[in-house]
Amino acid sequence: MKTRNDIRNIAIIAHVDHGKTTLVDQLLKQSGTFRENEQVEERAMDSNAIEKERGITILAKNTAINYNDKRINIMDTPGHADFGGEVERIMKMVDGVLLVVDAYEGCMPQTRFVLKKALEQNLTPIVVVNKIDRDFARPAEVVDEVIDLFIDLGANEDQLEFPVVYASAINGTASMDAEKQDENMVSLFETIIETIPAPVDNSEEPLQFQVTMLDYNDYVGRIGIGRVFRGTMKVGQQVALMKLDGSVKQFRVTKMFGFLGLKRTEIQEAKAGDLIAVSGMEEINVGETVCPIENQEALPILRIDEPTLQMTFLVNNSPFAGREGKFVTSRKIEERLKSELETDVSLRVEDTDSPDVWIVSGRGELHLSILIENMRREGYELQVSKPEVIIRDIDGVRSEPMERVQIDVPEEYTGAVMESIGERKGEMLNMTNNGSGQVRLEFLVPARGLIGYTTEFLSQTRGYGIINHSFDSYAPMAQGQVGGRRQGVLVSMETGKSSQYGIMQVEDRGTIFVEPGTEIYEGMIVGEHTRDNDLSVNITKMKQQTNVRSATKDTTVTMKKPRIMTLEEALEYLNDDEYCELTPESIRLRKKILNKSEREREEKRRKLAAK
């Protein structure tokens, strides 16, 4: 079988924050892909503003480097399971993977998730033990953990014969020896060339090109990124696009791009094994196959894991609607959600009976909150409901998504964590104490039990705990109450501006969420009650001005700092009868029914119906 020895196609996979993107930076720099005087910023592959701020990769990116006389195509993939849809498609484009594992943390839930996907595609692995320069690095134990994980996931004998490279991506060094580092990453480059199989060269056969990612450009429209699996593709060629619904469309290839470094370069021809971007087809989608008109043979459709979480998106109808956003109408919001579907294959948007309401489903809270954050930054104004897990009927049994949770905590907090996870119907799988006072706990927990758990977990462990979780499987629904918020809320009964005096009057009733001078409206949530019921409060109250001086006038009164929530915290905090109002400038929590007496009537009606 003929192969193209001048090319290697690899994906870099790892748990979030184990150093994938930093490793790609070093490979780009050391391969001589950039000019000597070219300015390259850190984590150059994370191009999106939110990726830069949070230090996470959201969208898979591709790049290529030249090493000696070989071209290495590299796919940098996200570590979060919420973006697993990206990881699964990338596995189809490559022949091998670099599994990056932190030399201190070892195998984490997403390490398991991404490796499972790679082994299912029968890809050749190379293990990179990164951050070897960290204090308390334990490379030997981490390699043992990786071997156990491979065996646990049913790897075959060939896959178990993986090479291990020890690296420090931040310092740009690597070696085959855990004890000492070489001055550069040559050993990693050489291992990639020797270990990863070269693509099969069947460029004489009829063309097959499959789209695995989408991009959009104002000048050329939709761009399909993917791999040429066989044959040759040329600019100007008339080809057939095999659609997912079985129909066939013809189009002409107007432009083709290859990748090198961070740039796309126009090319005239691509052969089997090349990763390229193609423009000229307006309606191309992920998973569709491009082939010759006279030889229409589609590749198998890419399977993407279904969404596990859904939220209701609504047009903002609060008293402050339209004040801060640029796009507030249902038409604009619908257009934006539909355009997101063009590039995000893991997302689903369903219409409802109302033209102002949509059900949006995704792979997790982070997946949906990134979409909401992007919309806010673009000037959209909307409301969302509490995230809910998607219940499925599997063989006549109501089943819910289960998450595999891994928790690292100091020993003294293990009891509290185990108790709180138990209340959320979690089942313990494993507990390891590595002797340094840190304990690693593994659980299987219903996904709905984890909604809103992070805040409770951080206060339980005084901020020292680390929690990671990823989707495991669907299982029969746990009975009874699972998770949910225990505390009631403080709800404003007036519209106006919050005052320092008003806030101080109710401070002892709970935790306040707003600062003095914030505009509030009736029905808006302004704090958390210390008890489990909701309480209506007036924090717009001003102090009566009189000309009588009080005896305690000179005593200084200090006000507690309000708890200002991030977008994720606000979404997690929501209850069934609440919305989160989102505008480019504000995140507000509110009751669905703003008027106090109407809310009480509705509550009575609900209790009667429940009887």
- Cα–Cα distances (Å) from 105 to 22, 39, 56, 99, 431, in that order, read 17, 32, 17, 14, 15
> Has 18 been labeled as part of a binding site?
yes
Mapping DSSP onto H, E and C, the string for 361-410 reads EECCHHHHHHHHHHHHHCCECEEEECCEECCEEECCEEEEEEEEEEEEEE
Residue 58: Cβ within 10 Å count: 20
Burial zone of 518 (CB within 10 Å; 0-12 exposed, 13-18 middle, 19+ buried): middle
> Has 22 been labeled as part of a binding site?
yes
Residue 523: Cβ within 10 Å count: 23
> Has 130 been labeled as part of a binding site?
yes
Task: Return d(Cα 600, Cα 468) in angstroms, integer.
Answer: 39
Task: Return d(Cα 190, Cα 96) in angstroms, integer.
Answer: 14
In which residue are the tokens 């796309």 written? 264
Dihedral sign from CA coordinates of 113, 115, 116, 120:
positive
Can you say how many angstroms the Cα of residue 457 is from the centroid of all Cα atoms in its chain?
Answer: 20
Please answer whether residues 203 and 276 qualify as being in contact, where contact means their C-beta atoms are separated by less than 8 angstroms.
Answer: no
> For residue 99, which phi and psi values (nearest 5 degrees)?
-90, 110
Task: Return d(Cα 150, Cα 22) in angstroms, integer.
Answer: 25
Residue 3: Cβ within 10 Å count: 15
> Has 576 been labeled as part of a binding site?
no
Q: Three-class SS of residue 57?
A: coil
Task: Return d(Cα 375, Cα 370) in angstroms, integer.
Answer: 9
> Has 317 been labeled as part of a binding site?
no
Residues 6+ apart with CB under 8 A from 36: none
> Has 529 been labeled as part of a binding site?
no
In a 13 Å sphere around the CA of 42, the CA atoms on its Cβ side amount to 11
Tokens of 21: 């993107």
- DSSP of 442-506, one letter per residue? EEEEEHHHHTTHHHHHHHHTTT--EEEEEEEEEEEPPPS--S---S-EEEE-S-EE--HHHHHHH
In which residue are the tokens 């309606």 written? 283
Strand 7-14 relative to strand 70-76, pairing = parallel
> Has 133 been labeled as part of a binding site?
yes
Task: Return d(Cα 23, Cα 185) in angstroms, integer.
Answer: 10
Give the residue numbers of the binding site: 17-22, 130-133
Give the residue numbers of the binding site for GTP: 17-22, 130-133
